[in-house]
Structures are given as structure tokens and as C-alpha cells.
A and B are shown apart, each in its own frame.
Chain A
């Protein structure tokens, strides 16, 4: 449905005035483990100097959890520092939750994220070269960081892909002018 609607919009609005669009398909692989916890995930746009241009998504246990052994309440933010790069580049500067960015953890599978220029969190992203960064950290599991370089805004549709190794599966990044 979505591409169709975009096509219609593109037909009526001049390219200069129309906001570019970024679609991310992120696969969280199914893990064959006896103790599985949904991973913490951060997706952000990084500048060449590794500073953060935009936080796109942060999935974590955003409500207090219960320790399985003791039943005691434990804030999910305790484990956010396990997203080491994101925590260092952005997380520790943020007041959580971030409206429209932070949310609950998600199960294994393919997840679609859609962002438009001129709308938070992509609003004001200057023209330039960036990396789309994905960091995934799973309790009693592994951690993986993946970066997909891209230029913004796209002058023509761009289809980029990458493949993670253990905590990240197939990644597709589609940019449309």
C-alpha cells in the first residue's frame, strides 16, 4: 500500500518540494537458544566524525521488569549501556524516553521502519554522507553493530543492503527522492 501512495504523491508534488524518504527493513534473526530475551536495538544516523545526526529507533524494556530469580523490580534502562556505541554516541546525552524514537523490544523477525524528510526524527538532516547504524545487544546473548553508508538526500531511488552475522540478519535500506 505504502509505495502506491508515495507514487501518487510524487506525481502531484514537484521533486524539489517533496520530502525524501528512508525505509529500513531490519531482520532480527531467530536464535536457537534455551534462554531467549528480545534484544535491545538502536538505529541511528551517524556523521563522518561519528557524531549522531538522528536517532531513528531505540527498542528496550522501557518499563520496569522483574528479575526472574528474585521477583524484584528492575528498571530496563539498566541494560541500555549494553548498546555500547549508541550509549556512548547518543544515549547518555538523552532524556529517556525519546518521543517517537524509543519503544518496547520486538520479537525476532523482519521489522519495517519508515522515515520521511521534514518529519521527526529525520527533520533537518543536512545534505551529506552518513552511515545508518544498527546496534543490537541481547541479554545473555551477543552484540553486533552494522553500518550502511548512504548519501542524503537521494537524487534517485537507492536500494542498499547488508547482512549481519549473528544478532542482525538481512538489512535493506531504500532511499527515495
Chain B
């Protein structure tokens, strides 16, 4: 018995080390994300902008305050939000392939944006030539919010979680069809704007929008704190969760609300950024070798932030002459990294 608890204590030390290291690399990547880019900026200048404004040249200060800092913040928040959402979905659906978009939140948001961008060209409503990001975000947010409402309605009435899953997939299919129809009928320029939106963009957000994202992420994460214990028990499925005292419907509403908020704001402000939400929870489980959400949620927060910041750095490395769409980087950089982790981990396990 003694030996077993010694092992547990040992495990705690290892865990503390991982959490410490991941926090440190997140801070480093955050700074690096601001420093690197078409115009190089020194770390000293960043600190001067933040703490001693008068010492920096105005154009450098402008780049940091209006471009690099909001962008890095967006990357951080997107990484955190999608990873935690993905973890919740994989647990509640007991499916390793579930992702934050499985409930149809991004489809709903896409429909909102498509109606706004493409619908206006279809129905020949004259839009201001420069469509502001905030309008797109609002359209996406309305779409996501309506989807959330629909999900909650369904989850209250339907008992079986797999039926909820099928409903989500069907809903996504229906919205994709409507979006396809709009794409087919819309003008070329509107179509391009929409396609670019689907590739994701971390650099669209102003500092005020980042504040909104931050607030929504905070609400989403606070909600998760209340479902940690429920998520743990839901690993065993609805029946066992009920018999140990969980009100499964209430838990579902809490978890769906949190996921929809976290995912909805990402899609609204940065577009449907793929893949992070499905991969990060798996990386977290492999790193920490536990299924306990008290460990996995902070792990997902840290790993998600790290990976998203890393992808953002790659997307704007000097030498391209442009910033690559984030979804493309996430796919090209993220997939090999994750396959490598999975393969190396398999070697250890089996």
C-alpha cells in the first residue's frame, strides 16, 4: 500500500513539472509571437510599450498594440477555448472523434456569416464596400447563439445522448446544404470573402473584440469548473453517472452551454478553426496519462495555448511576405506534430 501511494506522490511531482514547463513555454511562445513577424520587434520594446509608453517609437507601439498583441491574445484564447470544448465533447459523447463543432455551433455560425456575406449578394442588398469584421462576428454570433438554443431545447427533450449526437450531425448537414446553395448563387467577390473567412483569421480582432473574447472565455471556463466532477463520472456513461447522483440533464445543459460559448466566440471572431479541439485533449491524456478532468482541463488549457501560439508564429514567420491563413498552418504544422506524438507514445505503451 505504501508503495502505491509513493507512486502517486511521485506522479504529482511529475505533473507539477509538466504544468510548470507548459506555462513557461506558453509565456515564451506568447512573447515570441509578438516579436516575430515581417517587422522584428525586440522584447525590450514590448515591455516598454506595456510599462513605459514614452520610450518607444509610435509606429512600433502601433504595431504592438493594434496588431501583434491582439493577435497573440486571440491565438491564446482560441487555443484554450477549442481544447477545453473538445475535451468536454469527447467525454460527454464518449467518443474520441468528437470535436467542439459536433453540436453544430460552427455550422450555425457559418450559416449566419453566409447569410450575411453571400445573402446580401444573392438578394442584391447593397453593403458598404468594406464589410467590417464586427458585422461578420455579429452574424456568426447570432448563428451560434440560435444553434445553442436549439441544442439546449433538444437535450432537454431527448434522453439518449447518441440521439443528440445524430441530431447535431443532421443539423450540420442541413446548414451546410443551405450555405452551399448560397455559395452557388452568390457573386464571386462575396464568395471569396466567405471562403477566406472559413480559413480562419486570428488577426481580425481589435483590442475591444479581444476583451469580449476574453470575457466569454472566462465565463465558459468558469462553467467548466462546475462540471469537472460531472465530466469525470460521465466517462462511465449516463447510467453510472445517474446512479452516483448526477442529474444528467442538468449536467448536459451546463456542458453544452460552456462548449457553445467557448466555441461560438472562436468562430465568431476568428472563423471555424479546425483540428485543435479534437487533437489537444488526446495530447493532454497522453502527456498526463490520466482521465481525471481535474488534471485534463488545466492540461488542455496549457497545451491548447501552446499549440495555437506556435501555429500563429509559423503563420507569420518572416520571409513569406504575407500571413498564411491559420487553418492551413494548423493542418500543416499541427498534424505532423500530433502524429509524431501519437506514434512515439505507442512505442512506449505497447
Chain B binds chain A: no
Residue numbers of B with Cβ under 8 A of A are: none
Residue numbers of A with Cβ under 8 A of B are: none
